[in-house]
Structure 1
Amino acid sequence: MAWPILIALTVPVTALLLWLHVPAALMLGPLVAGIAFASWGGQVRSPVSIFAVAQGIVGCLIAKMVPLSIVGDILGHWVLFSTGVVSVLVASCGLGWLMTRLQILPGTTALWGISPGAASVMTFMAEAYGADIRLVALMQYLRIFLVAGIAALVARVFGVSSSYGAAAILWFPEVHWLSLGETLALAIVGPAVARVARIPAGAFLVPMVAGIVLAHLGFMTIELPTWLLAASYALVGWNIGLRFTRPLLVHAARALPRILVCTLILIAICGGIAALFVLVAGVDPLTAYLATSPGGSDSIAIIAASTNCDVSFVMAMQTVRMIAVLLLAPVLTKFIAERVKVPPGG
């Protein structure tokens, strides 16, 4: 009965968000329902590969929207991209160092939990350094939840028209089945390749990069009917929401206010960086905010796709930062963790 109950919770929440014209309602509704379901003790069993394929489909969606010239755009605006990526990394490392020195959370938990991306990598590495892996996981996925919710709110304020409401959705459009088969093949094979090659966040990145190249060189046509996107958005939302289990929330109850404050501070700092992009570089507010949001690339991709922002800019910045976090954050976090003096038993 687990899946029927979860779906029964999801449908009215999603319908309400669609009625309110909330951006990415098809993802946020399942996300909220997943949190409610998991926090009440509910559990569902599902192969991990299903969630990976859903991420692959979101990667295909971005590949369809982002031009092949994205690499040239990054190189042409390397100062802006470098500034954005380095600023977010410096802010997260500085905040993590301060929180660790002040022992706001036990041991080096804050240092690992505040990293702006690569949630699963940071969670696994944290355990090896004696941090509280459950609090790290909560920090990572709470940030993804908050980033998604706040980004949707910002999108609602700056960039969404009524055309994104429920009335405008055509659930069962005409489908080109050969193109749909090619798209599904990419969404399935891409995550499988990423898993074999052990590419972090590869379930999303590999189909996105391969899709950009293949689609824009004319080797395939990406076909994504609304019903398929809706199912994928729901799986992405559930994948985040179902992590907020009752044991995790009970364990983190005392630390939750501090975790929430620290997470909101990081989001606010990234919002300040976005404001500088608007003032100095003339980037529109919605694009700047989504581009600098700390983590949750697949959820940000879904929100960006439902708005009229510059999707290419957003995903280029998110992708560059994700790669930088995967390469640099573990090294920087280890470096800081080994030099921060943690009290005995911390």
Structure 2
Amino acid sequence: MTNSVLKTELAIIQAPMAGVQNAKLAVAVCEAGGLGSLPCAMLSAELLKSELDYLSQHTDKPYNLNFFCHQTSDYTLAQQTAWHNLLTPYFDEFAVDVSQFTRNASRQPINQQIIDIIAPYTPAVVSFHFGLPSREIVSQIKAWGGTVLSSATTLDEARWLQANGADAVIAQGIEAGGHRGHFLSMDLSLQPTTAQLVRECVELDIPVIAAGGICTAEDVAQYQALGVAAVQVGSAYLLCEEATTSALHREVLKTVAPDSTELTTLFSGRPARGISNRVMQELGAMPEQAPPFPYASIAMTALRAKAEAKGDSGFSPLWCGERFIVREGINAQQITRLLMQGWQS
């Protein structure tokens, strides 16, 4: 039986996870019957084409391309100076050369050039984080038959997405790993749990996809009972064979104590959930000196590279949801099928 929203056999989306996956994981989930996703926000035009070629050559099933819709603000010299002053002890410790740092955004929101690249591939689903792009871009996606999804972290955001062209809403609870998708308000106190948010959103006249803290078949059953059209799962795939999760990240995932994640702005400038590590503990997870998204990542990426070269994950963004179960020696198909045992068709 085909899922009416995703056009897939199974009602599950593999969450797009930049930095720990490529098209290989997306293909594996597609072939298992779910909707595999490719995170595209950090891909160059050349790499995007290469990944799209891989997808189209290795699966004929529907897949999802994910993009960001953030508004890029200025990164002033004063902001950069304050940020660098905070990080100077680490620059000294790891011999980081700050003279080469720019104030240019490393992640760009979707634009017409990107649409022109992906249009010939006619992806079945295109999803967004931080709102939606222009109506012109949404219309072009729908013109080739694409389904448009976006993340909502509050009921107000879900209503906004419904009013502005989304075909379904991804209800991202506070438990979710990686970046928060909020875009109407930066007030984190407004962010409900996945269950709370789903209960609110299913009252709207739009399909709802639950995301955040889903790691067992029982979780899937719970959200199906609440009336969702599908679930979106990310962290459960972090240790699977097809993920590109680094050896350092994998080791932390296998040894970390429960309840060890928190939201931090240190790595990009926007709140994102990851496992607490040295830099988060020493500077605080949300220091006021962190510059706006995505500029924090310029210095942090350089620090991360130096630390990881020494086997140190203390400056790495160890993205992970609030709930995580260690499953080693498992592939994406097994994870997908295991979780979907909870979905009653």
By the TM > 0.5 criterion, same fold?
A: no
More strand by share: 2
TM-score (norm 1): 0.30
Q: Which of 1 and 2 has higher RCO (CA within 8 Å, sep 6+)? A: 1
TM-score when normalising by structure 2: 0.30
